[in-house]
Chain A
Amino acid sequence: MTSWVLSTTVFSPLVGAAVLALLPRRDELLRVVALATSLVPLALSAWLFWQAPRGEPGFWLAERASWVAPLGITYHLGMDGISLPLVVLTAFLFPVALVGTWDAVRTRVKEYLLLLLLLETAVLGTFLALDLVLFYVFWEAVLVPMYFLIGLWGSERRAYAALKFFLFTMAGSVFMLLAIAGLYLATGTSDFTRLVATPLPRAAQGYLFAAFALAFAIKVPIVPLHTWLPDAHTEAPTAGSVILAGLLLKMGTYGLVRFCLGVFPEMARGAAPAFMALGVVGILYGAAVAYTQPDVKRLVAYSSVSHLGFVVLGTFALNPQGLAGALLQMVNHGISTGALFLMVGVLYERAHTRALEAFGGVARVMPTFAALSLFVVFSSAALPGTNGFVGEFLVLLGAFRADPRWAAAAAGGVVLSAVYLLWMVQRVYFGPVRPEVRTFAPLRGHEATALLALVVVVLWIGLYPRPWLARSEAAVQALVHRVTASVEAHGLAGGAR
């Protein structure tokens, strides 16, 4: 049975964008339409989350249609326990970003909203595509809207940052394209569910795996391929940063889980120690560099490098705890870093600077904002009771089982993240009230709404993560089993169904 609910989820923002293009340039109207459009995928994905079966390791929802018929390349979307959380996260973050930055952009509003909606379609498609060529199309389709979002509405060095973002990502992904072509030539299919059931040529596996891993590693980003990130995240407009950090980085980690583990289990097992090491390096390096940043937004940007290190570490621990933690941590990072960027956006709207030294005593002037921000920071620092704690705990548990040394080093990273985040909180929110801060406008309704929505999720996952974990448990276990099974067990994890 094909219900097309996934296609509707993916393409409803595109339809909204088309409608937007035809509307008159009345900014408030355009914003309302864009928000209403982005609520459609949210509603659908909430319904899917509600409906999601527990204990189902494979794709419980799939849509397939003929696409490039002469080559047997199909339009194939599918949802399992691994894509579900990310789809929900995507559908949630877009409306939140729209609300949180309601009127932050005042020039070319139509183009801005249109690009955001195009971006949403591309991101959702990336998480749902089950044909490698289709996946690549969505994966690359993300670049152009993001390029323009950074390049047109970013801050001073936007042109440079936008191009750097584009070149880095594309430099990695073109090799993935060659690998997709190679896989297609070797197996005669580009369909994920068929690929996992097809023995791959041994000799070429290493190259193919490396090409995929490179593309994803740049996107995650794994240190030392991260240098595009601070520029892009810092220069992007607030909503762009939220999407970039919250979702685009997840495309990289999702790719690692879905394709590097799913299609090349043996290679992934071989490369796991190296990736765990890179993950830990990322955790510590990101944290250390974040600590030295004089710019709040750059600090948050580097914190992403550190937090994504946990995801990589958990993924390549190759056990159920690690992978489940990594998956949950993808969602958590989307929520908490998205919230951090919104927070920085709120500050920037008032101070028109991002320098740490320009702030001080914000808590006295904007108490509600400070309270919400504290939750966000706690979540990012993984304090118990917040979502970050659950995710990082599981990752560390998994890493400990795989290799206690890396787990110990990563635990140090948890401490470091508390250090730089709390240090930032102290300098921005507490201490004597600086004169510029005294004139800050109170938190506005839309800003409070967006932050509150994020904080609710922070606490939900922090206090009751069960609904999230239960829905992906079976898929995670099947994937881990597939990767670690000593004999190649074809068609086990996420197998053709």
Chain B
Amino acid sequence: MTVDLRPLAPEVVVAAAALLALLADVFTRTSRARAVWWLVALVALGWAAGAVWTAGEGAFGVLYARDGLANALQLVGLAVAAGGMLLARDYLARVGLDRGEYYALVLLSTVGAMLMVASQDLLFLFVALETLSVPLYVLAGFARDSHRSQEASLKYFLLGSFASALLLYGVALVYGATGSTGLARLAGAEGSFPLLVGLGLVVVGLGFKAAVVPFHAWAPDVYEGAPVPAVAFMSVLAKVGAVGALVRLLPLTLPHLLPAWQPLLAALSAATMVVGNLAALRQTNLKRMLAYSSVSHAGYLLVGVAAGNGTGVWSAVYYLAAYAAMNLGAFGVLTFLERAGVEADEVEDLRGLADRSPALAAAFAVFMASLTGLPPTAGFVGKFYLFMAALQGGLLWLAVVGVITSVVSVAYYLRAAYAAYLGPGRAGVRLHPGPWAGVGLGVSAAATLLFGVLPGPLTTWAQRVAALLR
């Protein structure tokens, strides 16, 4: 039997680029030579994106599906990787961490996310999840000389392993109940007790990756300690993988068990929105604030999953794309700031930003407005779709929780945007504009506004995913 490997081409390209980046580091000494390899990796991402864009739909055995969901979320994942690489370069060079491993890890974990959103088998999903996670653990600790970064890495690793183990145990229970780990067999399975418990544990494992309450406790510490560009990247990519897998597992594979999983997902979503936003209110550290903000956005994404309908599924895809643009941008602004040799990560450090760089402050305000969900930004359109999906799915209460927590979030997002316009700047805070990160920020800001002002094309694109819904 011959197997057609062509559907795997995008993953292969990215994985090859990762290996190349590792190798390249051995042979290059100068920063300029590294820049060439970095550019090669970026081109590889573009190539992979092109391959996804032109890829048809087809399965690779029973493990892997190249379908609408996979294509859509792989493109988002590749965009996140490109954004992560653009934001990282100037920062890493500045703090003396510019090593090929960083980009190799980014690319490897992107491969993990790409496989995650395409996996048609729970065991394969587990392998993909680990491929996503392990590089992220290392990235969190990439600043080897920083204790905070070390602590972040260790904490992320320990808790992450625990979550992976739970997921694996869940997979075992599902296997016990149905005799298979394949989603195809699961699709018609009866909702027996072991199956439901197993599914619950799988949801926990994925929820951990997406920082869903109550499995979010790692997020603030990890985000605070890890280098900013790594946080920007991991906060989005992990959500792409986890939410993609949840969408595939629940609304796409198990619509017949909706009464069983919808209450769980809705409760997790509501708890995540409430806890994330309330906790973010109290933060004075910008990275912790954005960490809790990231938690709360996991909750908004889950609204789409919990709704369980086609609107929910494509809204979640839309929101992931929007979230990628706005969250990469928000963290991206931080990569420019430095206070006394370390990252300037207090809200107060933003003071005077508007005087030093009006464009940067304006971009930051756009990202904050979008995270709040204010028109005319991508965040608004995404939330509108998600809440509409909840209404359509009969979850009015969840939509109400969503809008009220969005109002709460105004207080902390606007406080940050406002701080950027207050002068004078805090003593010791310096601004290091970088050309590549500037490009990344410009693209993020443009996308955040474009998806908000002209949402049509992205909506059409995201809606194709809903065709998978049976």
Tell me the A residues contacting B by CB distance below 8 Å.
66-71, 108, 111, 133, 136-138, 140-141, 143-144, 147-148, 151-152, 159, 162-163, 166-167, 170-171, 174-175, 177-178, 181-182, 184-185
Contacts and interface: CB of A to CB of B under 8 A. Distances in A.
A163 B407 CA distance: 11
Contact of A177 (B403, B410, B415, B460): B403
17 contacts: A69-B456, A111-B354, A137-B375, A141-B376, A152-B418, A152-B421, A167-B411, A170-B407, A174-B404, A174-B406, A175-B400, A177-B387, A178-B387, A178-B399, A181-B388, A184-B388, A185-B392
Interface of A is mostly: helix
B354 A68 contact: no
Please name the 6 residue pairs, one residue from A and one from B, whose CB atoms are nearest each other, closest first: A174-B403, A137-B375, A181-B388, A70-B460, A70-B459, A69-B456
A66 B454 CA distance: 10
A277 B189 CA distance: 60
A167 B410 contact: yes
A181 to B, nearest CB: 4
Interface in B351-403: 354, 358, 365, 369, 374-376, 380-381, 384, 387-388, 391-392, 396, 399-400, 403
Interface residues of B, number: 34
Contact of A140 (B354, B380, B396, B454): B380
Nearest to A110: B358
Most B Cβ at <10 Å: residue of A108, A159, A181: A181
A57 B455 CA distance: 33
B400 A140 contact: no
Contact of B459 (A68, A137, A170): A68
A167 B407 contact: yes
A185 B388 contact: yes
Contacts of B443: none
Nearest to B374: A140
Contacts of A175: 400, 403
Given A167-B410, A167-B411, A111 B421 contact: yes
B448 to A, nearest CB: 14
Contacts of A144: 365, 369, 374
A147 B368 CA distance: 13
Interface of B is mostly: helix
Contacts of B455: 68
B375 A141 contact: yes
Nearest to A151: B418
Interface in B40-75: none
B293 interface: no
Nearest to A147: B414
B119 interface: no
B463 interface: yes
Nearest to B421: A152
A62 to B, nearest CB: 20
A181 B410 contact: no
B463 A163 contact: no
A164 to B, nearest CB: 10
A68 B380 CA distance: 14
B418 A133 contact: no
Contact of A170 (B376, B399, B410): B410
Given A70-B463, A137-B375, A178-B403, 7 more contacts: A70-B456, A108-B354, A144-B374, A147-B414, A163-B414, A185-B388, A185-B391
Most A Cβ at <10 Å: residue of B396, B400, B455: B455
Nearest to A138: B375
A133 B387 CA distance: 14
Given A167-B407, A177-B403, A184-B388, A148 B418 contact: yes
Interface in B180-216: none
Nearest to B415: A163
A70 B462 CA distance: 10
A137 B388 contact: no
